[in-house]
């Protein structure tokens, strides 16, 4: 009898694990035809600059608006994967800023496209200095009438944006797009929980399985990367930040806990930090389902431009 009960419990346990996953995988997934800017829609200048501290040659795309200036300028900082120049999200944001009088430098992340180095073994401090090198390059260009310069960090780039601001007195403002204010380990755990839920595991099962999954990423699958970035917590840098900052999150983000990130910044009670959370958008801050298919929603583009022009 006891053996029968044990077998029954084992079967029930397997059903709880497997059946929801099978149902989720069989369910038809809705796809969207995304609309955004491509490289064919823009004109740019190929540029090179150097991170002198590490003797790394970096490359990128420079977008200069028409007119005499002076112009505000921004440097994009990429997320946690290799950059690619055809990124429609960044290009859509870039064209909106370019068309409205903002100089934009989109560097190739170290180890990607035309840039030397290896992003997988780079610390956040080292990646930050790449961005500082880009800022210094812009300010050294005598032919570019620049009034002020800031950082736009996307995802992990936003996560480290206050760190970058601490590395240079030349940065006048920062923008964090979907970069959490939580410690990186907490963000990873949240992301794994959401990944497992999307596969189909029940929430309580996904939340438990996320712990060994996150551990395997840190200690096995991406060990070199995690050794380089350590236990980074951006909050001390937000606390010390003395330039204007805009942080934007999507409420439906499955990579970053939006409300927790917002709350952590709001506890600082700093007047120079503005936080916005958009309902219906995910990590890319896209147009909500049923309201269009823009890779970046128009409200975000407008908020981005208004913030830069007013700071």
Domain ranges of the chain: 2-26+188-220, 43-183+232-310
**Residue 56 above 90 pLDDT?**
yes
Question: Mean pLDDT for the chain?
Answer: 91
Q: Give CA–CA dist 77/8, Å, rounded.
A: 53
Q: What is the pLDDT of residue 10?
A: 46
**43-183+232-310 CATH fold:** Rossmann fold (3.40.50)
Q: What is the pLDDT of residue 30?
A: 65
- For 91, the enclosing helix (H) or strand (E) is helix 88-99
Q: Give CA–CA dist 222/142, Å, rounded.
A: 42
Q: Is 247 left (phi over 0), alpha (psi -120 to 50) or beta?
A: beta
**Nearest CA to 73 among 127, 125, 140?**
140
pLDDT digits (tens, 9 = 90+) for 162-187: 999 999 999 999 999 999 999 999 99
Q: Within 10 A of 309 (CB to CB), how many other CB atoms are there? A: 12
Residues 109 and 55 sit within 8 Å (Cβ to Cβ): no
Confidence class for position 22, pLDDT limits 50, 70, 90: low
pTM of the model: 0.90
Q: Helix or strand or coil: residue 77? A: strand
pLDDT digits (tens, 9 = 90+) for 207-248: 889 899 999 999 998 888 888 887 899 999 999 999 999 999
**Residue 8 above 80 pLDDT?**
no
Bridge-based pairing of strands 103-107 and 45-51 is unpaired
């Amino acid at each position: 009898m006891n053996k029968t009960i044990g077998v029954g419990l084992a079967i029930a346990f397997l059903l709880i694990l497997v059946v929801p996953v099978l149902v989720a995988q069989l369910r038809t997934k809705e796809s969207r035809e995304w609309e955004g800017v491509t490289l064919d829609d823009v004109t740019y200048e190929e540029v090179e600059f150097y991170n002198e501290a590490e003797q790394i040659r970096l490359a990128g795309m420079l977008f200069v608006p028409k007119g005499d200036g002076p112009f505000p300028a921004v440097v994009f900082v990429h997320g946690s994967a290799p950059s690619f120049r055809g990124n429609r999200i960044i290009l859509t944001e870039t064209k909106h800023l370019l068309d409205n009088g903002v100089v934009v430098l989109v560097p190739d992340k170290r180890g990607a496209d035309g840039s030397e180095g290896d992003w997988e073994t780079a610390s956040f401090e080292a990646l930050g200095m790449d961005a500082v090198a880009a800022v210094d390059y812009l300010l050294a260009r005598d032919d570019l009438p620049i009034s002020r310069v800031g950082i736009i960090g996307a995802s992990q780039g936003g996560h480290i944006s206050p760190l970058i601001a601490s590395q240079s007195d030349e940065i006048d403002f920062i923008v964090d797009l979907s970069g959490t204010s939580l410690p990186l380990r907490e963000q990873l755990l949240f992301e794994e929980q959401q990944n497992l839920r999307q596969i189909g595991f029940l929430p309580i099962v996904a939340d438990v399985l996320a712990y060994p999954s996150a551990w395997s990423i840190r200690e096995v699958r991406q060990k070199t990367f995690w050794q380089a970035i350590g236990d980074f917590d951006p909050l001390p840098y937000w606390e010390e930040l003395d330039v204007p900052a805009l942080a934007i999150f999507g409420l439906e983000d499955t990579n970053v806990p939006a409300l927790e990130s917002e709350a952590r910044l709001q506890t600082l009670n700093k007047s120079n930090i503005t936080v916005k959370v958009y309902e219906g958008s995910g990590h890319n801050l896209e147009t909500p389902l049923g309201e269009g298919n823009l890779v970046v929603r128009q409200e975000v583009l407008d908020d981005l431009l208004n913030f830069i022009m007013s700071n």
